Amino acid sequence: MIRKSLSITVFMVFNVFCGIAQETNTSSIQTSFPDSSIISEIQSDTTFSSDSSSVLIDSIGPIGGENLEETVSSKINNIKSFSDFFNSEIWYSPCSNIFSDCDIEHIHNRKYDFYNVQDTFPLILGDTIDCRYFHPVNGRVTSEFGVRRWRFHYGIDLKLNRNDPVRCAFDGFVRISKYSRTYGNVIVIRHENGLETLYGHLSKRLVKINDYVNAGEIIGLGGNTGRSYGNHLHLETRYFDEAINPRDIIDFDSYCLISDTLYLCRNNFKYRDLITELEKIRFHTVRKGDTLSHIAVKYGTSVRTLCRLNGISPKKVLRLGMKLRVR
């Protein structure tokens, strides 16, 4: 009963908190926004379609860079205030669950955009009564949240050996337990504070949909399934399906929470600027007769710019089928 009432109690006092929270020094809040100059330094190893001479990155879609095969399309609500969000979207949800629905088919169903939010919300992550944290696997970080080559990486990768136990980070219900092309064997656990954690590339899943699991409970075994190169755990943390950098929440050196409360604000979602930049990137597939000059004219750019974007010299011999970044 205590567990079911905690989330609603937080929301009932939220409006009182807002007047104080907006004065919080945001410089102390963890931020996941890297310098935008990284865009020009990315190197591509992605496989592209050859159906057209001008192609998009295969992982960037119209809803913010999610993997399309893992996402269901829905109307995106632009949230400008956490207070209004809870009053309009959450207040009428059942007391036992602040989510208004439970999609057990789609891994991602993005409905909200918190990029323009103007206030701050205290998201309780751990306390002595209800919320506990357990580190999923004590492995080193092998890949960070953020831009990775031409893709946006929405989680953090942790090194493990095949069949190492993977544990649930917080108490919650299993919303997804299935195999997908991207994540391989994947489990998504929904927690009662609006947060979800995702565990990907497992060799085996040990829980099923609607199971209730406790923090520290083994939910699967580590592996290398799906779009993966080497055994590791892909860990995502999402708030109403909006990704948050796990480093905003977790200290991966000491395997514990940074704080028992995360003060959510716009800084936690500024990575969307990078996704906007990624969506502008275009490639050209070299065909017979193409030269750097012809390609530059076609896309309204210069040979110098093409050389800079692709790390080549003006004397580079173009091969048929070669992919050149043009924007």
pLDDT tens-digit series, residues 316-327? 999 999 999 898
The tokens describing 298, both together, are: 């076609």
pTM of the entire structure? 0.73
In this prediction, residue 59 carries a pLDDT of 33
Answer whether residue 87 shows pLDDT above 80.
no
- DSSP annotation of 83 reads H
What's the pLDDT band for 148 if we cut at 50, 70, 90? confident
Higher-confidence residue of 294 and 277: namely: 294
Answer whether residue 95 shows pLDDT above 90.
no
Give 292-312 pLDDT, tens digit per residue.
Answer: 999 999 999 999 999 999 999
Provide the CB-side half-sphere exposure for 263 (13 A, CA): 16
Residue 73, domain member (yes or no): yes
Tokens 């918190």: give the residue: 114
Residue 220, domain member (yes or no): yes
Instruction: Examine the domain organization and report whether 165 and 214 are in the same domain.
Output: yes
Of 273, 294, 319, which one is at a domain's C-terminal end? 273
Of 250, 273, 296, which one is at a domain's C-terminal end? 273
Residue 269, domain member (yes or no): yes
Q: How many domains does the chain have?
A: 2
Residue 198, domain member (yes or no): yes
- Domain of 301: which CATH number? 3.10.350.10
Query: Residue 238's beta-bridge partner residues?
Result: 196, 243
Q: How far is CA 188 from the centre of its chain?
A: 13
- DSSP annotation of 86 reads I
What average pLDDT score do residues 101-109 get?
A: 86
Q: DSSP for 236-270, please give it.
A: EEEETTEEE-GGGTEETTTTEES-SEEEE-GGGGT
Question: Closest Cα partner for 231 from 152, 142, 145, 168?
Answer: 142
What average pLDDT score do residues 69-84 get?
A: 78
Answer whether residue 241 shows pLDDT above 60.
yes
Higher-confidence residue of 311 and 26: namely: 311
Higher-confidence residue of 245 and 38: namely: 245
Instruction: Examine the domain organization and report whether 159 and 140 are in the same domain.
Output: yes
Residue 37, domain member (yes or no): no
Instruction: Examine the domain organization and report whether 240 and 95 are in the same domain.
Output: yes
Residue 265, domain member (yes or no): yes
What average pLDDT score do residues 212-218 get?
A: 96
Residue 175: domain span: 2-30+67-273
Instruction: Examine the domain organization and report whether 85 and 225 are in the same domain.
Output: yes
Cα–Cα distances in angstroms (integers) from residue 326 to residues 40, 293, 309, 312, 323, in the given order: 12, 12, 7, 13, 9
What average pLDDT score do residues 206-220 get?
A: 96
In this prediction, residue 163 carries a pLDDT of 96
Instruction: Examine the domain organization and report whether 320 and 211 are in the same domain.
Output: no
Instruction: Examine the domain organization and report whether 286 and 269 are in the same domain.
Output: no
Residue 151, domain member (yes or no): yes
Answer whether residue 142 shows pLDDT above 70.
yes
Answer whether residue 248 shows pLDDT above 60.
yes
Instruction: Examine the domain organization and report whether 52 and 120 are in the same domain.
Output: no
In this prediction, residue 4 carries a pLDDT of 45
Instruction: Examine the domain organization and report whether 172 and 316 are in the same domain.
Output: no
Instruction: Examine the domain organization and report whether 74 and 56 are in the same domain.
Output: no
Instruction: Examine the domain organization and report whether 221 and 75 are in the same domain.
Output: yes
Residue 174, domain member (yes or no): yes
Give 150-189 pLDDT, tens digit per residue.
Answer: 789 999 999 999 999 999 999 999 999 999 999 999 999 9
User: Please, what is the average pLDDT of the chain?
Assistant: 79
Answer whether residue 11 shows pLDDT above 70.
no
Provide the CB-side half-sphere exposure for 208 (13 A, CA): 0
Lowest mean pLDDT segment, chosen from 68-82, 90-104, 170-184: 90-104
Instruction: Examine the domain organization and report whether 245 and 327 are in the same domain.
Output: no
- Domain of 161: which CATH number? 2.70.70.10
Instruction: Examine the domain organization and report whether 113 and 241 are in the same domain.
Output: yes
What are the helix and strand counts (H, E) for the chain?
6, 22
Q: Do the beta carbons of residue 250 and residue 155 sit within 8 Å?
A: no
Length of the chain: 327
In this prediction, residue 192 carries a pLDDT of 87
